[in-house]
Structure 1
Amino acid sequence: MAGITAYGAYIPFNRLERRRLTEAFDEPALPGEKAVANYDEDSVTMAVEAARNCLNGLPPGGLDGVYFATTTPPYREKQSATTIGAALDAPELVRTADFTSTLRAGSAALLAAADTVNSGARSVLVTAADCRPGAAGGQFEQLFGDAAAALVIGKENVLAEIEDSCTVAGDVITQWREAEDRYVRTWEERFVINRGYTPLVAGALTAIAGRNGISPRDIDRLVLSAPSPRYQTAAALSLGFQKQQIQDGLFDTVGIAGAAHAPLMLTAALERAEPGERILLVTFGEGADAILFRVTEKIKQFHPRRNTTAYLQSRKNSMNYQTYLRWKNMLDFEPPRRPDPDRPSAPAMWRNAKNNLAFYGSRCNNCGTPQIPAQRVCVHCRTKDQMSPYRFAGIAARIATYTIDYLTFSQDPPTVFAVIDFAGGGRLLCEMTDCDPAAVAIGMEVEMTFRRLFKAGGIHNYYWKAMPGR
C-alpha cells in the first residue's frame, strides 16, 4: 500500500511579531507572530530546504518524480519542479510537475504522487511552499505566513499508509488572484464560510467516513486547514471532533502558509504520531480533499534532519515593519546608484547547472582533495585533468575569515561575505544569510542553504549561501 515514507518541513528564520502591525496602523492585531521569508527566499528555495530535511540521507537518485505545489511560483510560464529537482541532484529521468492556482495544490500533488506510485513508480517527492502576499493593513497581512513542507510517497518502509481518500469539487469563489493581481482577494466572510468552506469540508468528511465506516472518535489527529483559527476549531467541533484531536494550526507561530499549510501541519502531526494511530488530512480550496492515514511501526525509525519544533524555536523576531515591507517589495525605495545587474546568460546557466544548482565541485582522483569551484588542476598535488564530481551540499563548514560590507547594496544591510572551509577540504568565498553580523566569528560552524541571488531581465538566479546552523 502506498504511503508516506519520509517527511520534512522548513520554516524561515525570521518572524514578524503581529504587534508591529498594531504599531504601524494603530489598530488591533492578532496575537503571536508569523514566519517571513528572507529577501533571498521564495517558494522554490523554501521547497528545496524542506525537501533536503525530508530526504535526510535518502539518495535523490531513487526518486521517480518531483512534484511541487504552490500558489506563488516565481514564473508564470516556466516549471519550478525542474529547478527543485536539479538543486536536490535528482536524476534526469524523473517526472516533474507543478501544481498551482489553488490552496488544495498540496493535497492534489500528494494524491497524484500516490497514483504515480500505485502505477509502478518507486517513490515520488512532493514538496509544497508558499509566500502569499497580503496587502498592507488587511486581514491577510496578519494571517499569511511563509513556510514549506515535503513528503516522499512510496511503498517501501512506509511510515503512514494512505487508507483512503476523497475529493469534493466545488466551484465557489472564496479567495482568488487574477494574473494581474499582486494581492489575494476574498469574498464576504459569511459567504466564504457558509457556502464554501463548511459544506465542502463536511461533504468530504462525510463521504470518507461513510466509505470506511468510521466516526470522529476513530481519528487520533485531525489535520484541518481553515481560513482562520476560529473556523478551524468551529468546523471540527461541529463535525463531532474534540479539541484534543485537532492538530495545531500554527496560526500564532507561522501563519497560514497557503498550499503548504496542511502539509506542514501533517509533518508536525507525524513527528508525534504513534504506531496504529489514524490521521485525517482535510484541505480546502474550490472543493475539499480528505486523506486518511494509518501510522505504522516504521514511524519510530524515521527522523527528519530538522523537525518543526526545532524550526519554531530557531527564530529571530526583532524584524520591524519597514524591513518587512522592503523584503516583500511593497515599497518603492531609491535604487542603488550603480548599474542594474545583467540578465543571467541562459547558455552559461545551462553549462553550470550542476555546479550552481546541485552545488558540485571536484575531487582529485590522485590525492583525494575536494575543491570548489571545480578545477582542472589540483590545488594540492597539481595533477591535471584527474577530477571526479564532488557535491558539497550538506557538508559541514567553518568560517576561515570574513568581512562585513556596509557599502554594497542589500535589502538586509550590512552584507557579510565569508571564506569558508569545508570539512575534508574545499574553500569557498560566499555570502552569508540569516545571520547576526555582530555574532559572526572566525571558526563559526556554518551550513549551506539554497537561495536566490538576484532577479534580472525576468530571470531568477539561484545559488548557495552560508548560514549559521539552526
Structure 2
Amino acid sequence: MSASGKDGECGILACAAYLPRGRIARETLEEATGWVTGMGRRSSGTRHFANWDEDSITMAVEAARHALQRMSDEPTSEVASLNLATTTAPFADRSNAGIVREALNLNADLSPADRGGSRRAATSALIDLWARRQSGPHLLCAADCIDALPASDGERDLGHGAAAVVIGAGNPVARIRAAAARHEDFVDRYRESGTRFEYRLEPRWTRDAGTVSQLHDLIGQVLAEADTAATDIKAFLSPLPPDAERAVLRAAGLTQCVTAAPLRDSVGTCGSAHPLVMLSWALESAEPGDQLLLIGAGQGFDVLLIEASGGASDDPMSVGRQLAAGRTESNYVRYAALRGLLPVETGLRGERDTRTAHSAHYRRHSDLTGFNGGRCVACGKLQFPRSRICVHCHADGMQTPESLAGLTGTVNSFTEDWLAYSPRPPLMFGNIHFPDGANVMMEFSDFLPGEIETGQSVRMAFRIKDIDTRRHFRRYFWKPVPLAGEQSGG
C-alpha cells in the first residue's frame, strides 16, 4: 500500500497482517476425524495455525512490526497509544499489551491497553480511536489463537492470525467515513473464562434470529450517514459464515460486492483479528476511492465504511505473499500435538524445570523482550548482550542501547539436535552474525530439518522461548526464521 491522501487528514496510516506459516487442509482434518460425524470429505481449502512457540502476543508483535515498517515517514517513538484486542490473551493478570509494547521498543510513557471479551474487540477499538480524532499515531493490534476440539466445526472453520492498524493524522492509506455499533446479548457462541474451547449454538438460528435483521439496520444507518448507495460498495468484509453472509448481502442490496470468502477459505476465521486481517487483504488490491464495508460480529455488530486512498504495494509481508509462503502440514497428529490438543510422551529430556528467575528476568527484560544490545560509541561495533566493557575495543562504559530485532542476520553455524528436547524436534540452534559485529547463539524456528544452511540470511521473530507449565508462566525471546516471503517445502 502506498500512502496517498490528504496531508494531515485523520485516517488509517498503515494496515498489515500476520499469518503463521503453518496450515492444514480441511480434507486432512476430515480424513482424521470425519468418522466421528460421518461427514466424509466435504470441506475444501486450508486453515492457518500457530506454531507451538506462537500465541496472540507474538503474532500481534509481528503484525505491528509490519504496520510500523509501512510508516517510513513516522518515527515509532511517537506512537501515542497501544491497544491489543484478543480473546485468547496468554495472561489474565499481566499486561499482554505491555509485552507487545516492550517487544516493539515503544515509549514506556504510553499506556498499553488490553481489550477483550468479544470477537469484535478490534473493530470496537477502531471505532473508538476514530471517534476521538486524535492526531496520534495510535497503534491497534488484534490477534487470536482460538483452538477447537477435534472433529468440531470450529476445528474446520477457525484460523490463527493477527493484524495491526495505525490511525492518526498524516497521509492515510484509507479513511473511515462512517461507523455504527450495536450491542445485543445474543449468544450464538461463547467461551467461559478459564476454559479453552467455545460452545456453539444452531447456526441456522444464529443466522435468522440474530444476524440479518440487526446487521441490515446498521448497514443502512452507516450508508445513510455517509450518503452512499449500496451499489457504490466495492467490498463487503465480514467474519460471518457463508450462508449468513449471503443472507445479509441480499437483504442490504449488496449482491455485487466482492467478499473475503477466499481469505476465509484459505486462512479460516481468526477471531477478533479477522476484520483487520480482511481489511489489510482488501487494501492491498484496492483502488483509490473504493468503498469497503468492514463488519465486526459478536454479541452485536460494528459496521465501518472505509474509503481506500492507496493502491497495491509490492510488500514481502503482504497477505498474498504470506499465503504463498505458507507450509501445509499433512500429519494430523503432529498438528494436534503442536497445538496441545494431543498429549505426547516427551521423554526424560522433556521433564526439565523451566522455572523463570523473575529477578534476573526483570534486570534484563529490555534486552530479552526488546532484543536490545549495545553499540560502542568508541569503535562503532554492535554486541549482544550489552555490557560495560566493549568486547571489540575494550572501551569502558561507552555503549548505547540498540535493538537487533529489525536486522537481517547470517547463519554462521547451526546444529540439528535430535536428542535435546523440543516440542517440534529436532532442536535447531546456532550462531547468528549481525551487521557491525554482533554474534548471538539462538534457537531457530519455522525451519524443517535440512533447510538451514551456513551463510543463509534470516530475519528475527518474537517467539515463546519456553513455557513453565507448573507455574503457568511463559518466557519470550527472539528467534531466527526464514526471510519474509520465502517458500518452504511441506
Per the alignment, residue 334 of structure 1 pairs with 345
Paired letter, 1:95:
S
Tell me whether 322-331 or 444-453 shows the greater mean CA deviation. 322-331
Distance 1:455 1:252, change over 3 A: same
Question: What letter is aligned with 1:367?
Answer: C
Deviation at 1:236, TM superposition (A): 1.7
In the alignment, structure 2 segments of 5+ residues that lack a partner are: 1-8, 35-39, 485-490
Q: Which residue of 2 aligns with 1:93?
A: 109
The secondary structure found in structure 2 opposite 1:309 is helix
What is the CA–CA distance in structure 2 between the aligned matches of 1:258 and 1:204, rounded to whole Å? 21
Is the CA contact (8 Å cut-off) linking 1:224 and 1:232 kept in structure 2?
yes
In the other structure, the counterpart of 2:91 is 75
Partner of 2:158: 144
Give the CA deviation at 1:438: 0.7
Contact 2:380 2:436 in 1 (8 A): no
Give the deviation of 1:168 after TM superposition.
Answer: 1.5
- Match of 1:251, SS? helix
SS at match of 1:418: strand
Partner residue in 2 for 1:423: 435
Residue number in structure 2 paired with 1:400:
412
For 1:258 and 1:241, the matched residues in 2 are separated by 24
Q: 1:195 aligns with which of 176, 185, 209?
A: 209
Cα RMSD after superposing both structures: 1.7
Q: Which amino acid aligns with 2:50?
A: A
Partner of 2:4: none
One-letter amino acid of the structure 1 residue matched with residue 440 of structure 2: L
CA distance in 1, matches of 2:352, 2:127: 43
Q: Cα deviations across residues 112-171 of structure 1 (Å, max 9, x unaligned)?
A: 22244x2x4521101111111211101110000101110001011122111111012111
| Structure 1, 186-195 or 345-354: larger mean CA deviation | 345-354
Q: Distance in 1 between matches of 2:217 and 2:474?
A: 41
Bigger Cα displacement from structure 2, 56-65 vs 441-450: 56-65
Amino acid at match of 2:432: I
Aligned partners of 1:6 and 1:54 also within 8 Å: yes
In the alignment, is residue 323 of structure 1 matched against residue 334 of structure 2?
A: yes
Tell me how far 1:301 sits from its aligned partner: 9.2
CA contact (8 A) 1:229 1:249 kept: no
150-159 or 202-211, which deviates more: 202-211
Q: 1:277 touches 1:294 (CA, 8 Å); kept in 2? A: yes
Equivalent of 1:5 in 13, 27, 30 = 13
Aligned-partner residue type, residue 335 of structure 2: Y
Distance in 2 between residues matched to 1:61 and 1:301, nearest whole Å = 27
List per-residue Cα deviations over 1:281-334 (Å, max 9, x = no partner).
1111111111112223xx249775611011000011034111111111112223
Q: Tell me which amino acid in the other structure corresponds to 2:322.
A: Y
Distance 1:104 1:210 in 2: 23
In 1, distance between residues paired with 2:187 and 2:257?
32
CA distance in 2: counterparts of 1:134 and 1:147, whole angstroms: 15
Q: 2:145 aligns with which of 131, 136, 152?
A: 131
Provide the aligned length of Structure 1 versus Structure 2: 465
* Structure 1 residue matching 2:211: 3-state secondary structure: helix
Is 1:114 equivalent to 2:92 in the alignment? no
Q: SS of 1:217's equivalent?
A: helix
After TM superposition, the runs of 4+ consecutive aligned structure 1 residues lying more than 4 A away are 300-305
User: Any stretches of 5+ residues in structure 1 without a counterpart?
Assistant: none
**SS of 1:322 mapped into structure 2:** helix
Contact 1:12-1:38 within 8 A present in 2 as well: yes
Inter-partner Cα distance in structure 1 for 2:326 and 2:285: 22
**Counterpart selection for 2:324 from 313, 316, 327:** 313
**1:274-293 maps to which residues of 2 (within 5 A)?**
274-293=287-306
1:241 paired residue number = 254
Partner of residue 364 from structure 1, selected from 376, 393, 401 = 376
Aligned equivalent of 2:461: 449
Q: Which residue of 1 aligns with 2:189?
A: 175
Which one-letter code corresponds to 1:411 in the other structure? P
Letter in 2 for 1:155: A
Please give the secondary structure, in 2, of the residue aligned with 1:230: helix
1:384-430 superposed Cα distances (whole Å, 9 cap, x missing partner): 22111111011111100111100111111111111110123210100
- Give secondary structure in 1 for the equivalent of 2:114: strand
Partner secondary structure for residue 207 of structure 1: helix
Could you tell me how far apart the structure 2 residues matched to 1:269 and 1:252 are? Answer: 15
Between the aligned partners of 2:151 and 2:136, the Cα distance in structure 1 is: 47
Question: Which deviates further from its counterpart, 197-206 or 39-48?
Answer: 197-206
- In structure 2, C-alpha distance between the alignment counterparts of 1:42 and 1:345, rounded to whole Å: 22
Which stretch of structure 1 is more off in the superposition, 281-290 or 381-390? 381-390
Q: Residues 185 and 264 from structure 1, CA distance in 2 versus in 1: closer, same or farther, beyond 3 angstroms?
A: same
Counterpart residue identity of residue 331, structure 2: N
Question: Is 1:34 matched with 2:47?
Answer: yes
Q: Tell me, in whole angstroms, the C-alpha distance in 1 between the residues paired with 2:392 and 2:457.
A: 24
**Per-residue deviation, 1:195:** 1.3
Shift of 1:241: 1.3
State which of 33, 39, 42 in structure 2 corresponds to 1:25: 33
Shift of 1:70: 0.9
* 1:165 pairs with one of 179, 183, 186: 179
Secondary structure of the 2:416 match is strand
Deviations 1:426-456 (A, max 9, x none): 1010000001221211101111000011121
Q: Which amino acid aligns with 2:393?
A: C
Using structure 2 for the length normalisation, give the TM-score.
Answer: 0.91
Give 1:349 shift. Answer: 2.2
Counterparts of 2:248 and 2:461 in 1: how far apart (Å)?
Answer: 39
Q: Aligned partners of 1:267, 1:248: CA distance in 2, in Å?
A: 14
Deviation, structure 1 residue 29: 4.2
Please identify, of 37-46 and 217-226, the stretch whose mean Cα deviation from structure 2 is larger: 217-226
